[in-house]
Structures are given as structure tokens and as C-alpha cells.
Structure 1
Amino acid sequence: MLRSTWGIFLYPRHVEAPSVAGPPRGPNRAGSPPRPLRSRCPPPASRPVTHTALARKYRPLTFSEVATQEHVSDTLRRAVSTGRVGHAYLFCGPRGVGKTTLARVLAMALNCPNRDDSGEPCGACEDCTRIWSGSTSLDVVEIDAASNRGVDDARDLRERAMYAPSNESRHKVYIVDEAHMLTREAWNALLKVLEEPPPRVHFIFATTEPQKIEQTAAPILSRCQRFDFRRVGVLDITARVREVLEREGVEASDEALRLVARKADGGMRDALSLTDQVLALSDGSITAETVRRILGVVGDDHYLHLFDVLAARDRAGVFRLVDALLDQGFDLVEFYHGLVEALRTLLRIRVGGGDGEVAEERLEEWTERAGLFDPADLLRMLGMAAELEVNGSLRRTQQPRVLLELLLLRFAWLDRTLDLEAMIHALGGEGPPPPEPQGPVGPSAPRPPPAPRPPPAPVAPPPPAPHSGPTASSEPAAPSAPAGPVPVTGSISGESRAAYQPAPGPRGETADAPATTGTGPAPGAGDAVAAWRDLLASGEGLPRGVSPFLMGARAKNVEGGLEVAVPAGPALERLRDPEVREGLREALRVRTGRTEGLTFVELEAEATGGGDARISSQLVRKGRLDDLLEREPGLKAAVEALDLEFMDG
């Protein structure tokens, strides 16, 4: 053994150096043989392998692989093949729909040496690989505007854009993600270079909030070609996720894929990220129960049970259901979003609009629940549930449980809709039989087939009211509303509804006609104003639906006939209708014995004592309903028998 100058011991080749681990260990205290030394580092085979996210691993390489965005990919591919690529593009759309992916594919197509004639990049060359993976490239630069949003960053980008690409056959592409984060000053710094860009330089701005760009940099929009990306449909997401799982060697049920696609909310990247999350727990196969467990999705059983509770009006069952959801750890806001989708599904099934996205094995159960409710009730419940989303109260509240219970209790206490036509038909009235449902209904709500009915007999007009003679006032008292009605939402046939719509007449027309002698004067005829008051008091001979418009009318004798002043608005338009005016003239002729000239003018506000001269919509509606009841005796019988009230809407 020799010792060197630096104090290092050198051993000859034939001498074995001592072991670093020291002398061999003796027996331990228990007398067992010595334990072997263990390395602190795991063997290479057991070390974790770096995982690449599915969203990156299966990012599309060509225009044709991008799902749902054919209106964008086909246009860009055609622009590349024909040499008409724009200098600036604005990609707008939700997250995860392919904005950055298409920007990279466009950059690959512009710089790929093996590009085909259709404009598709090869996706295998070195340039395509570097651009696709997001590696550093001299000619393709990706910028995150969220962290590089100032005017200095924009000036630096503008100066770098002035330099030519690295090769005559290449293009410089700047991809600016989250472009709505740029400040107004940064956009102003880019205006000139976007208006007159250097040759073979392209800008691609991607944003999820284009409205912010419109507010801060409106001139930018005229310098860019804008493409709006669509949400990816559930079927497209399901097909893509199934393809990825097949390439990964993992099986998945259709219900599991549907849950992932619905949870992704139109984003392909979100769907692949959720699939990554589910794969971490799966053991070679993905089931719907696994997806619900990981993603916290509420199962169909809870919603089907809820509809049973609502159909039975079990108010206490509402509290028990919410308690069970909390005990199982479900998010009530997530349950609410699923409830809106469930109500929409029931409504679609009930009206025959399809089964939506219901699994085939559960379609019968959903159809049965749809038969428990009338379509109008489902529509009302869906509207009530949507109010929480519109006003945002469920997101802001600290007590989502109270809001959800309140909503479900309103559903349980909701008055059920009655079809007036079916009610009239049941009471033996003249209404048409109830229509058959267009969609499939469950066995719990069977509809009997309509029985053949004989043609309706003509309805005799109501007996005329007794002649009361002229009154001292030209304003008859408004009829009083019935007390204590039961609210019922009903439907009126289109034929009856059309009969009571006011027909607008020409403005400014008068009914002056040459005076002709009647066939026989009535007793006491001669005073046109008195005859007019008598006509209003008795109502005999008035055209149908005109009574409400004559409230507050003032009549006076003028040269050539009678002048009636009525409040401006719908009353004046209605009374100037030629048919209505002719009917009133005929009623006056019966009472005066001669044909009177009849003119309608606008009633001045001073004539009413300074008050509002317009007829209220309530009076007009009341008059129309009275006429409707007189026209349809069956409806009148139903209203009187059940103490019903017509409601607005």
C-alpha cells in the first residue's frame, strides 16, 4: 500500500480493497443470522413511470381528427392547400374544444415539408413533432396572455415579428392563448403589425371570452378572421373516449361513457381528463358505479325515487330524500343540476320529443315516471327549477339545502293542471274531446280512447235581458268578480281564442252615411242620445265582444248623426272597425226608427276629470271572458260547477 502526495492510499492490483460496508455483521441480540443490507432506492422495475395525460397523448395530429369543428378545420385546410392563409385569426369558444389544437395543426401544416396536396401535415417529421409537443421552436411561439399581458410584452412580440423566418420555405406563427387577458394598451401596440404584417408571419389568438376583446379592443376584430368553435356533443365525446380506451386496452360500459361525456359539459379535453381520473381507480374496466363514485355524479335511482315522492305529494319524503343525499356525501348543487336534466328528460318523453340521453336499459322506468305528470306540470316545474340558475341564488347561498328543499316542496304542493277541454267533455259540454298524447306514457297514467260522439246540436242564444229603459249615466257599472275561486290552469281551443281577438280597424274613419228612412219607427224614437244610453243599458243588439270597449263612452247629437267619444287605444280601434260600427248602427236603427250617422272620436282627458281615459286591460279581459262563457255553455257549466277562475298566461 502506497500513500500518494495528496494523502490517498493506493492499493496494488493484487491487493483487494476493504469493503465499504465494513466488516461483516455478527449475530444480532436474538441469536438470529445477520440481516442482509438493503438499498434505500427501489429497484428500477418498481420505480414509477412518468405518465402522459390522455389529453396530450391523443391530441389530434391533422385537421380531420379534430371532432365537431369541421367548419373551422375544413376552411383552414383549404386555405393551406390554396395558399390563402390569413395573417391573423381569432379562435373563440369554450374551453377544451380544440382552439389551441387547431392552432398547432395549422402551424404544422404551414411548416411541414411533407404536407400533402389537401393541406394536411404528415405529423411524423421533426418539425411536426416539435410543434405538436409544444417544444421550443424558432418559428412557432406560444404565448400565455394571462402572464404576458402588458404593453411591454406586446412591444417585444411586435419587434420579434419583424424578423424573417429561419428558412425561406417556413412561416412564423405566434399562438396567443387567453387573448382576452391582454390589456387595452397591449392591443393598441399590436394594431399596426396586425394591419400590415411582415410576409409569412401569422397570429392566432385563442379566447374563451370574445366579448371582453370587443370591449377593450374593438378595432382588432376587423383585422382578424374570426372562427367560433362549438361545444362537442355527447355522442362525439362518447365515441372519442371509447376509441382512446380501446387503444389503452380498457373496457368501459356505455353508461359509464355517457356519464363522463355529460360531466365534461361539451369539452373534449375535460372528458379525457376525467377519463384519466377514472382510470386511476379502475382495474382494466370502467363501470358506471366507478364513475359515479369518483366524479360524485348522482345516480338515476335518486331522481326516479324523487319523482315517485312528488307524484304521491309526500312532503315528508322530500326531507328524507335530501337527508339521504347528504348522508351519502352528494353535492346538493350537483344534484340540482341533475334535477334540471331529469325534468327535461321527462318532458321530452312526455311530449314525444325522444328519450334524450337515457340508457336503453332504464328507458322503461323513465317512461313510467313521465306518465305520472302532465306535460304542463313538468313545464312549470322545469321553469321553477331554472329560476334558481337564472338568478344565481343557489351558487351564492350558504344554505343550498334550504333552497333545494324549498324547491322540492313547491313541486310537491304544486296544483295539478286540469285540461278544460277534457273537463267540458266529461261534463257533457260542447268542447272537443281531449287530444291523445303524442309521446309514450307510462302504464300508470293510461288515457282511455275517445268515444264516438254525435255532432253537437245548435246552441240556442241566451234569452234577451228585459228592457230597462234609458239610464241617467252613460257609464254602466263594471261587473263584480266571483269570490273565492280555485286557481286552475286550462287551455282554450284555438277556434274559440281566435273569435275573441280584437280586429284592428282603420284609424280616422267615420260612419257618416246618407240618412234614409227606416221601415218603421219604434215607440218613443227620436232622440239618438237616449237611444244610445238605452242600448248600453240593455246590451240587446250589441255586437259580440264590444261591451267592454263602450265603458266610459260619451255620446252627443251632432249634425248628421251621433258622435261617440271613447278613450284612445284599443277601444277606439275596435269601435272603428267597419263590422262593429255597422252592428251598432243597426242596433240604433231598431230603437230610433231611422239610420243614424255614427262617428267615433277620441275622448279628451279633461272629460274624465283629469284621470286616465284608457280602458284597463282587466275590464277588456273580463268582457271577453263573459262573452266566451256565453258562447260555450259547457265551459260555463264547468266554471259554475267547480268554482273555477281563469288565470293569466
Structure 2
Amino acid sequence: MSTLYRKYRPKLWSEVVGQNHIKLTLQREIETGRLAHAFLFSGSRGIGKTTLARLVAKSVNCIKRTPDTSEPCGECDSCREITEGHSIDVLEIDAASHTGVDNVRESIIDSARFLPTKNKFKVFIIDEVHMLSTGAFNALLKTLEEPPAYVIFILATTELQKLPETIISRCQRFDFKKVNIEDIVKRLRTIADEEKIKIDKKVLEQIAYRSEGGLRDAEGLLGQIFSMGVKEITEKEASLVLPRSDFSAVAKILEFITQKNLKDALIFLNNLVEEGVDLIKLTEDIIELSRLILLTKLSNELGKLSFAVDEKLLKEIMKFAKIFSVPQLMKIIETFLEQKRHLRASHVPQLPLEMALVTLIPETLSPIAIVEATFTPSQQQVQSEPAPIHVTSKPVLSELETKKEEKKIEKPIEVTASEPTGAPLSFDKIKEKWDHFLKKVQEYNHSLPLILRMSQPVGVRGRAVQICVKYAFHQDKLSELKMRSLAEKAMTEVLGETAFIEVVLGDDKAPVIVQIATEPVAPSTDTLVNDLAAAFGGQVVG
């Protein structure tokens, strides 16, 4: 049993779908007898290049065709042989497997010297001609420029830019366009009716969209669905063949983004994964729908340049166009384009998309509202300050002096943890500047903002900003000297005044408070003093 695209390959000019700008020109040349000696067909795969080449060969060699028409009869020996691929005067050559000079000389140049065996014209159809070597192109030049009167060359390529200008200039060039969605759906409906199979219109639209303008690909997908042996095909049956993803799911994700609802967005995404949705296709659909919204927002006419959408989806597009700004849509497209690159490499399939949602919905990453009430400091806490830590160095010196006799300490050294002293900070100002703070942190470190987006300021204690995190490993990470210093530096620059950082764990009843000074004291030049400070985890004061 032949595949659908071979079974229903157009045998007449009237059956060709799309490419009207090329059909009319070729038909007129055939009717008037003013044919070029060489044609160049360029365009993407599966849009009719080889089909039209065969139709040209059939029309010029059809015995029963009248001079004033271009349609071949399809019944004479010549037409049947060309249709079945048996004609010795119509040679189809795959340049991808015949790339060398010897192949061109044997298959084309030498053969072109002999008259057609049965037909009026000898037609050479060279597919994927861009695959020929430089030597093969040079060998073909002379024959292509001045072929015998009975020879017609038809070159087909998907990569026109790889052809030498000397080849292009010797041919009559035709650029094939992708077939539009409406024409593909009509063609698929005709095939389904011929096969006596009832199929949902939405399934045909999905096939047409996924074919990306290639009719052969669309017919191939339709053939896969027909192979299930079902006489009535709905979206449920088609989902077994077509990658699972639809624009209703994409619209739902965009709706979560507009609502800044990260929790439900992540739950919905993971439910889609459990249902077997193709994540690559889902990502592509998010990008495509965002693009349509962007085009519609810029101009209603631009949105019509894309594929036809149903009325329900069109309403969604118009709704989102009113909600999203142009920068927001650009950010969504850029984010998902970036994360799409990581989908195949990620050991957790949905992780890149989860990261995209976290990036686009940072506001909802705060702890539960009760945390703020739990950790808001009282006035007494604001005023209270921990007592300095006094470390007497004498016992330690007795051991160190044996190694460093010249180093002497005459009085105890006072090492104290930095304290959030001074006038209290404004919590409202901190909340207002929080997004600015996250952006400022990103300038210094790329991993730190990911943790901070999953945290939230919950209060102030003097000049210390209390940041609440959900997980202990986040607390540990923020407590590292390098990370805390960067966070405090960014907070100080954003607020315009000295600020400290205190990290609290959201699930603890009695939060652990970490305090750091924004302006570190210059290190002492005394090695012994530095050793003592490092041993007790403090800093030298004074």
C-alpha cells in the first residue's frame, strides 16, 4: 500500500495546491510552446517542486495534448510511464547521491547527446542540486547553457544559497512558497473523503499547523492517523499520533503569568507532564502564541499573517493583547526561547519550563503571609542589641609565642560580631525597592538572584533587613560570606543607606538570625591578630 502523499500526488495542473504564481507561468509557456531550456525550482521541502517538474515533463511529452492547453491527458503511454516513473526519456537524478564529476558526465552530459527514445523531449530532473561538487557544477555549465533543442533541465533545491551564481544565471528561476493553512486543510479534507474516513476539523487544523506549510508532511501525518484503522477520528484518537499540546493549555499558562500565580502555574505544568504532553511542542506553542499576541498588539493586520485560528483562540489573543505590554511579551518569548535550548539536556524534563515560570513570576515566591506576622520584630527587639563578645588572648598567646617570639600582645583583643545599629530602616521602602534589589544583585552574581526570588523581606531590625527563606540550604547559601556581602552591597546601593542582612528560616518558630556588616573593617597587618580573629569567627574592631 502506497503512502498518501504518493497516492494522491497531483497528476494534473488543476490538482496542484498553492503555487499559483508558478503554475500560471509554466502553463502559459507550455501552451505557447515558448519553454525555457532550464528551470530552477527553489523552496522548502514538501511544497511541490518535484510534482511540478513531473507535470512539466508530462505536459511537453503528452501525445494527446492539444496545443492550446497545458493539461496532460494522463492516459497516453507517455503520461502513464512518467506517472509510474518508468519513462526512459524523463530522468530523475538525486544529486545527494551522485555528487561527483563522473556522475554528471555519465548520467547527464553523455545522455543528453542522444535523442529521446519515444518522446518529443528528454527531461532531466535533478533533485537537491546544491549537493553537487564544484567540479560537477563546472562540468555541467556548458551543457546547461547550450543544451540540445530536445533537452529540458529542471533543477530543484532546498538551499538556493549554496548554488553557484553561474548556475542560477543560466536557469529560469521559480521560488516556491509554503502552502497556507486553509489550503492544506481543504486538501486533507478531500483525501479523508476519498478514503471514506470521518475526521474532526480541529485534527486537520492541528496537522496543518504542525506541517509548517509542507503539504507532503501534512499528508504523511494524516496517513499515520489513518493507519490506526479507525473510521471516525476525534482529537482523542489523533493525540496518539500527534504530539500532545494545544493552545488552550498555552493560554492557561499565560493566564497564570498575568495573575502572577506561580503555585498554580507549576502544578498545571506538572499535570501536563503527567498527561504526556510533548514539552518541546508546548514550548514552541507558548512562543508562537506569544508571538501572535505581540503581532496583534502591534497591529491587527499583522496577526492575520499567521495561521488561521478558531474563534475561541482569537478571543484569547485579543484579551491577552490588552493585558500584556510589548516589553512583557518580548520577555516571555526571550525566556522560553532560552529555556528551550536546555529541554533535551535536562535530566528533569520540565525543569527548564519551571525555571522560565519562576523567572517570569517572581512576585509570588514569597513565604506565606503568616511568616511576615511571625517575624515582624517588636519595638523592644529593635532597640535590643547583643552584647559584644570579649575574647581574652592571653591563654592563646602562651602557645603561639613559642612559634612567634617577636609578636607580643599587651592587652586583650576585643572581637565583636557586627551589629545593626543606627536609625531603623523603612520596611515600606524595602518592599518598594525589592525588585530593583533583585536586578542589582544580578549584576554581581547570577545564581544568588534565584535564591532571593524564592525569599521575601518580612521585617526590619534597626538597620538590618530580615529576609525569610523556606529551605535550610537556602539559608546556608545566603549565610556564606561571599553571598551575604554581595547581597548587603546591593541592598545598600538600592536603599542609598547602610543596610545589613538577617536570614530567617520560614519553618522555624525561633528564627536563626545572621548579621553581617556592610562595610568590612580593613584587615589588620598583624598576622597573629588575624589568626585569632579567624579562630573565633569574628572581626578585629578598632
TM-score band w.r.t. shorter chain: 0.5 to 0.7
Residue 413 (str. 1) matches residue 413 (str. 2): no
How far off is 1:290 after superposition? 2.4
Q: Deviations over 1:478-504 (max 9, x none)?
A: xxxxx97987xxxxxxxxxxxxxxxxx
Q: Number of residue pairs matched?
A: 362
Which of 190, 199, 210 is the aligned partner of 1:252? 199
Q: Deviations over 1:271-325 (max 9, x none)?
A: 1111001112252122223223311130233213212321221223343233223
Residue 75 (str. 1) matches residue 75 (str. 2): no
How far off is 1:378 after superposition? 4.9
How far off is 1:338 after superposition? 0.8
Using the alignment, how far apart are the partners of 1:247 and 1:202 within structure 2? 35
Residue 165 (str. 1) matches residue 116 (str. 2): yes
Match of 1:119?
Answer: 70
Q: Is the 8 A contact 2:287 2:333 kept in 1?
A: no
Which of 291, 302, 309 is the aligned partner of 1:344? 291
**TM alignment of 1:92-107, pairs within 5 A:** 92-107=42-57
Which of 276, 279, 302 is the aligned partner of 2:223? 276
- SS where residue 324 of structure 1 aligns? helix
Using the alignment, how far apart are the partners of 2:180 and 2:363 within structure 1? 34
**TM alignment of 1:411-560, pairs within 5 A:** 411-413=360-362
Go from structure 1 to structure 2 and tell me whether the alpha carbon gap of 1:383 and 1:322 turns closer, same or farther (over 3 Å shift): closer
How far off is 1:374 after superposition? 2.6
Q: CA RMSD in A?
A: 2.7
Residue 279 of structure 1 aligns with an amino acid whose one-letter code is F
Using the alignment, how far apart are the partners of 1:347 and 1:279 within structure 2? 36
Residue 305 (str. 1) matches residue 252 (str. 2): yes
**TM alignment of 1:226-241, pairs within 5 A:** 226-241=173-188
Calculate the TM-score normalised by the size of structure 1: 0.52
Match of 2:516?
Answer: none
Q: Deviations over 1:83-132 (max 9, x none)?
A: 11111111100100000000000000010011131222112222112212
Q: Is the 8 A contact 1:318 1:409 kept in 2?
A: no
Q: Deviations over 1:413-446 (max 9, x none)?
A: 389xxxxxxxxxxxxxxxxxxxxxxxxxxxxxxx
Q: Deviations over 1:141-166 (max 9, x none)?
A: 11111111111101102101110112
Q: Is the 8 A contact 1:122 1:128 kept in 2?
A: yes
How far off is 1:385 after superposition? 4.5
Match of 1:86?
Answer: 36
Match of 2:6?
Answer: 56
**TM alignment of 1:627-638, pairs within 5 A:** none
Residue 197 of structure 2 aligns with an amino acid whose one-letter code is V
Residue 58 of structure 1 aligns with an amino acid whose one-letter code is Y
For structure 1, the 5+ residue unaligned runs are 1-50, 416-482, 488-649
Q: Is the 8 A contact 1:89 1:226 kept in 2?
A: yes
- SS where residue 166 of structure 1 aligns? coil
Using the alignment, how far apart are the partners of 1:82 and 1:250 within structure 2? 42
Match of 1:223?
Answer: 170
Match of 1:137?
Answer: 87
Q: Is the 8 A contact 1:259 1:291 kept in 2?
A: no
Calculate the TM-score normalised by the size of structure 2: 0.62
Residue 137 of structure 1 aligns with an amino acid whose one-letter code is S
Match of 2:341?
Answer: 393
Go from structure 1 to structure 2 and tell me whether the alpha carbon gap of 1:114 and 1:335 turns closer, same or farther (over 3 Å shift): same
Match of 1:292?
Answer: 239
Match of 1:587?
Answer: none
Q: Is the 8 A contact 2:41 2:156 kept in 1?
A: yes
Q: Percent identity?
A: 37
Go from structure 1 to structure 2 and tell me whether the alpha carbon gap of 1:335 and 1:165 turns closer, same or farther (over 3 Å shift): same
Go from structure 1 to structure 2 and tell me whether the alpha carbon gap of 1:69 and 1:203 turns closer, same or farther (over 3 Å shift): same
Match of 1:210?
Answer: 160
Q: Is the 8 A contact 1:291 1:297 kept in 2?
A: no
- SS where residue 170 of structure 2 aligns? coil
Q: Is the 8 A contact 1:64 1:73 kept in 2?
A: no
Using the alignment, how far apart are the partners of 1:125 and 1:91 within structure 2? 27
Using the alignment, how far apart are the partners of 2:111 and 2:263 within structure 1? 69
Go from structure 1 to structure 2 and tell me whether the alpha carbon gap of 1:312 and 1:395 turns closer, same or farther (over 3 Å shift): closer
Using the alignment, how far apart are the partners of 1:414 and 1:403 within structure 2? 19
Using the alignment, how far apart are the partners of 2:115 and 2:350 within structure 1? 62
Go from structure 1 to structure 2 and tell me whether the alpha carbon gap of 1:289 and 1:345 turns closer, same or farther (over 3 Å shift): farther
How far off is 1:405 after superposition? 2.4
How far off is 1:382 after superposition? 4.8
Go from structure 1 to structure 2 and tell me whether the alpha carbon gap of 1:315 and 1:262 turns closer, same or farther (over 3 Å shift): same
Q: Deviations over 1:452-476 (max 9, x none)?
A: xxxxxxxxxxxxxxxxxxxxxxxxx
Residue 317 (str. 1) matches residue 264 (str. 2): yes
Go from structure 1 to structure 2 and tell me whether the alpha carbon gap of 1:282 and 1:52 turns closer, same or farther (over 3 Å shift): same
Go from structure 1 to structure 2 and tell me whether the alpha carbon gap of 1:484 and 1:275 turns closer, same or farther (over 3 Å shift): closer
Using the alignment, how far apart are the partners of 1:377 and 1:289 within structure 2? 37
How far off is 1:209 after superposition? 0.8
Residue 123 of structure 1 aligns with an amino acid whose one-letter code is G
Using the alignment, how far apart are the partners of 2:313 and 2:24 within structure 1? 39
Residue 228 of structure 2 aligns with an amino acid whose one-letter code is L
- SS where residue 65 of structure 2 aligns? coil
Using the alignment, how far apart are the partners of 1:395 and 1:315 within structure 2? 20
Q: Is the 8 A contact 2:257 2:361 kept in 1?
A: yes
Match of 1:402?
Answer: 351
Using the alignment, how far apart are the partners of 1:366 and 1:287 within structure 2? 25
Match of 1:201?
Answer: 151
Q: Deviations over 1:40-99 (max 9, x none)?
A: xxxxxxxxxxx2211111111122322221111111111111111111111100100000
For structure 2, the 5+ residue unaligned runs are 365-431, 437-542
Match of 1:183?
Answer: 133
Q: Deviations over 1:325-383 (max 9, x none)?
A: 32222222111111112223434555645686332355555555555x23425532454
Go from structure 1 to structure 2 and tell me whether the alpha carbon gap of 1:388 and 1:68 turns closer, same or farther (over 3 Å shift): farther
Go from structure 1 to structure 2 and tell me whether the alpha carbon gap of 1:115 and 1:378 turns closer, same or farther (over 3 Å shift): farther
Go from structure 1 to structure 2 and tell me whether the alpha carbon gap of 1:362 and 1:221 turns closer, same or farther (over 3 Å shift): closer
- SS where residue 193 of structure 2 aligns? helix
Go from structure 1 to structure 2 and tell me whether the alpha carbon gap of 1:67 and 1:385 turns closer, same or farther (over 3 Å shift): farther
- SS where residue 240 of structure 2 aligns? helix
Which of 359, 364, 388 is the aligned partner of 2:310? 359
User: Which entry has the higher C-alpha Rg, 1 or 2?
Assistant: 1
Match of 2:403?
Answer: none
